[in-house]
Structure 1
């Protein structure tokens, strides 16, 4: 399902459960040494999928340990993204000559709890979701909005090096019952629900672009994906002010 959402030249793999295969690298083992067996299995599976993607691009197996901000470190000349949720794991990798960044996310095909929806969607976004649900009630639009923002954040963080709050971005969705498109853009005035050193942060003033992605809804899962076009993202040193913080999406 994930491969159909990404452009040609992107390697993508998915699995409905855990994969066995070569063991983790030492740097990876250290990161999950104290984790539960389920978490270690998820961690290992998405990295086996990612190394299969890298092999498809002609890259040798390498450790894919998390960096200081929580995002996996990809080999030079590549960009990638990992995701997992109950019943689904996926990885996607592309060469930097084909994409500036990748973001993928998978979520259970179920509505968000109301208390979570108010935290991740603005009043305008909730009105947008109500209109979508009236036209196509079988699609969990609120979960798709959450997932679209997660995919956007996975492109944002490697380029910007800082946390982005859910209310620092706005998502617009479209499509039918099983698949469609979405656009996410940075907006001003977000509350940034994390402790910040630069309280005057304005996501809309960073120069980071709106990005268009695709979504699909399958049995038990919804998936979103963004491939940032080459030349679309700020380069190191061009981005706006940054601050440290651990993203929710660290895989």
Structure 2
């Protein structure tokens, strides 16, 4: 599924299997989850198995994917990547840093948000454009909005190491809200950082019970010269 949301030069891998094959973690990775419950261990291992499949697609040897600040994945030198996992789905994408500057992917269950979350994650402008009060919708737009903002943050944070709040990205979905189950979106950032774009183009897809989003920031994307 994730391959439909990234360009051909981006390697991708996903799985609906909640478990990874035994012995797929490096010792350094095992240390990161030594105290974790089984569910966390399974998703951690399965998404890293996806990451190594993406490495192989790029012709790279398998390597551990460790964690940096705020859990940011640490990718092999010369590459840019992103990972996501939710109940029943794991995915990873990877590209050469000569082609991609930043990437973010996110998968969520295509289900209503928990009570109170919509008001926290959405801006007045987004609430004016998106109706979440649709009976039996094919797309749960509140959940898709959450996913899109997660993809924005996963693109932004590794490049800036600056926290980005839900209120600092304004998302516009493109596509017929009554019939579409895939399309594009635009994210306008309401803050700036030197060398970072203020507008991001993304893709979204709702299928098999999941809402999935992606942003791929090309190496030659226009940037903002302002201050943080």
Q: Normalising by the residue count of structure 1, what TM-score does the alignment of the two structures yield?
A: 0.82
1:137 Cα deviation from its structure 2 partner: 3.8
> Partner residue of 1:227?
216
Assess if the C-alpha contact under 8 Å between 2:29 and 2:65 holds in 1. Answer: yes
Report the equivalent of 2:34: 33
Residue 113 of structure 1: SS of its match in structure 2?
coil
Is the 1:207–1:240 Cα contact (8 Å) retained in structure 2?
no
Alpha-carbon distance change, 204 to 227 in structure 1, aligned in 2, over 3 angstroms: same
Provide Cα deviations, 1:136-190, integer angstroms capped at 9, x if missing partner: 9421111111101100111101110121110111111122422000011211xxx
2: CA distance, partners of 1:86 / 1:165:
25
The 1-side partners of 2:8 and 2:51 are apart by 17
Alpha-carbon distance between aligned partners in 2 of 1:167 and 1:206, rounded to the nearest angstrom: 20
Range with greater deviation from structure 2 (224-233 or 29-38): 224-233
Q: Tell me the SS of whatever aligns to 1:185.
A: strand
> Equivalents in 2 of 1:105, 1:233: separation in Å?
23
Alignment RMSD (CA, Å): 2.2
Partner residue in 2 for 1:13: 13
Name the residue aligned to 1:56. 57
How far 1:240 moved relative to its partner?
Answer: 4.7
Structure 1 stretches of 4+ moved >2 Å: 204-208, 231-235, 238-241
Structure 2 counterpart of 1:162: 162
* Match of residue 178, structure 1, among 157, 168, 181: 181
Which runs of no fewer than 5 residues in structure 1 stay unpaired? 188-202, 242-251
Listed as ranges, the gaps of 5+ residues in structure 2 are none
What secondary structure, in the 3-state scheme, does the structure 2 residue paired with 1:60 have? coil
- Following superposition of structure 1 onto structure 2, how do residues 62-141 of structure 1 map, counting pairs within 5 Å? 62-130=63-131, 137-141=137-141
Greater relative CO, 1 or 2 (CA 8 Å, sep 6+) = 1
More strand by share: 2
| Deviation per residue, 1:94-145 (Å, 9 max, x gap) | 1112211111000000121240011100121111112x876x9421111111
